[in-house]
Amino acid sequence: MAERNPKHPRIPKSDKDMRDASDAFYYEIWMFNEMVNSLLTQLPQPGNPQYNALVESFVQHMRNLIEFFCPSDKVHPDTIIASDFFSNPSQWEKKWPDSLRKANSRANKLLAHLTYDRIKDDKGWEYGTIREIREHLNCLFEKWFKNVPPDRIGEKLRSYKVSLANIIELPITVATVSTGTACLPGIKVSRDMFQ
């Protein structure tokens, strides 16, 4: 699928353009993993603006990575997407796992846009969901990285490694709430977050 949206065709980029783009992508994958690690290892502090900023940063970087790996057909031509790195864009056509589709939709409604759905959504981002999203996105990264032509990857991204085997496991004492559910109270992007 060389052209995702006929109104906004994808313009092929040079190897140098793509190396520069890989530096921007590096920041997204690095920050996403750092935010996940921070959220899974810190005690939740609902109502604390700095804690809320961690949650929002996680959601924003997650959303950017989902758009990178699994863009919609209406993706803007200026948006860097995974298939741009291949001379034949169909080399990277991935289906969205349901968990990423749901997370992206939720991020759009709860953070990227001021919506009425934000009022209704009072669920937190559960630890299990955060870990599942991280695993899906890091697996997509590993698959993509192994197939991208090396001359299209910059030094920052070339030296970045995600080890799925060394993913931080959540201490149950931090995650257990009164219901016994593994959930971060306060990890929500909703009006309740600001109380």
pLDDT-based confidence at residue 63 (cuts at 50, 70, 90): very high
pLDDT-based confidence at residue 112 (cuts at 50, 70, 90): confident
pLDDT confidence of residue 73: 83
Rounded mean pLDDT, 142-161: 93
Where is pLDDT greater, at 163 or 36?
36
pLDDT confidence of residue 159: 92
Where is pLDDT greater, at 169 or 74?
74
Q: Which of 160, 163, 172 is nearest to 31 (CA)?
A: 160
Rounded mean pLDDT, 67-89: 91
What is the residue-averaged pLDDT of the chain? Answer: 77
Q: Is the pLDDT of residue 21 over 80?
A: yes
pTM greater than 0.85: no
- Taking the alpha carbons at both ends of the chain, their separation in whole angstroms is 46
pLDDT confidence of residue 111: 80
pLDDT confidence of residue 186: 39
Q: 8: buried, middle or exposed (CB in 10 Å: 19+, 13-18, 0-12)?
A: middle
Rg (CA), the chain: 18
pLDDT confidence of residue 30: 95
Lowest-pLDDT choice from 16-25, 32-41, 78-87, 109-118:
109-118
Q: Is the pLDDT of residue 7 over 80?
A: no
Rounded mean pLDDT, 43-56: 78
Rounded mean pLDDT, 86-105: 84
Chain-centre distance of CA 86, in angstroms?
21
pLDDT confidence of residue 5: 52
Report H helices in 70-126: 98-107, 117-120
pLDDT confidence of residue 31: 95
